[in-house]
Homo-oligomer: A and B are copies of this chain.
Amino acid sequence: MADTAEMGELTPRQRDVLDTALRLLVEEGDSLTMAAVARRASCSKETLYKWFGDRDGLLTATVQWQASKVRVVPVDQKKLDLVSLTESLEGYARDWLKVISSDTSVALNRVAIGHAGSGKDNLGAIVLDNGRFALAKRLKPVLDAGKRSGHLVFEDAETAFRTFFGLVARDVQIRLLLGDWPGLTEAAIESDAIRATQQFLALYGARKDQQVQ
């Protein structure tokens, strides 16, 4: 459809346009118009259509563009003691809370959810892949390492991950999506990350007598 739909190659100018589209998406949600994007990005509508095919194409490109920015380097550690495992889990919890409480994430999830009903595009899949599933992918190695080193005890890493996910996110995301709350403070995120990690370790951590060293 669009030039840039299949190949992820974007010119700097196109990236600029997508950035303003993203900003507009955060401000106005799914009700943004092609004209508004063109005006704000100082480009013509025709260019938008040439580059992105149609409205859905622009939306998809915008979501993918944001997704490509979020990608984080997974830091896998050499020595895994209980302290570093705890810190690692807290780090992931912190990051995740920061992501889901950001304006951008809320706006993108709203748009993707709105589109999920009428299966025209797959924004939902894109958001999911770069959110919840990306997190699982990054976290699983840590969980596995924790299991190998004897600090964690579980059968299925997927189940363990989903428990961690639930303990971290709780009702935060759905409340934000539904318009509750102004947002999470730094302090709240910090204490939530610690609490979630402690609870996770209470559920999946090796008991004292099983623990390595």
A163 to B198, CA, bound (A): 12
User: What 7 A-B pairs are tightest by C-beta distance, nearest first?
Assistant: A29-B117, A116-B179, A166-B170, A124-B178, A124-B179, A166-B166, A114-B114
Q: Please, how many angstroms separate the alpha-carbon atoms of A73 and B15 in the complex? A: 54
Q: How large is the interface on A (under 10, 10 to 19, 20 to 34, 35 or more residues)?
A: 35 or more
* Minimum CB–CB distance for A105 against chain B, Å: 11
CB distance from A164 to the nearest CB of B (A): 9
A175 within 8 A of B: yes
Q: Which residues of B are found within 8 Å of A31, using beta-carbon distances?
A: 117-118
> How far does the Cβ of A202 sit from chain B's closest Cβ, in whole Å?
6
Partner of A178, one of B127, B162, B178: B127
Q: Which residues of B contact A122 (CB under 8 A)?
A: 179
Cα–Cα distance between A170 and B161 once the two chains are bound (Å) = 10
B132 contacts A171, C-beta separation under 8 Å: yes
Least CB distance from A125 to B in Å reads 7
Interface string of A141-183 (1 = CB under 8 A from B): 0000000000000000000001101111111011101111000
- Is A119 interfacial (CB 8 A cutoff)? yes
Counting chain B CB atoms within 10 Å of each CB, the highest count among A109, A165, A170 belongs to: A170
Q: How far is the CA of A29 from the CA of B107 in the complex (A)?
A: 18
10 contacts between A and B (CB under 8 A): A110-B114, A113-B177, A116-B179, A122-B179, A125-B179, A132-B171, A132-B174, A162-B170, A165-B170, A202-B202
User: In the docked arrangement, what's the CA distance between A28 and B120, Å?
Assistant: 12
Given known A-B contacts A110-B113, A113-B113, A178-B128, A118 and B28 have beta carbons under 8 A apart? yes
Interface: A67 (CB within 8 A): no
A171 contacts B178, CB within 8 Å? no
Contacts of A199 on B, CB cut-off 8 Å?
163, 203
B110 contacts A117, CB within 8 Å? yes
**Nearest CB on B from A107, distance (A):** 7
What sequence of 0s and 1s flags, for each residue 93-133 of chain A, a beta carbon within 8 Å of any chain B beta carbon?
Answer: 00000000000000101101110111100101101100010
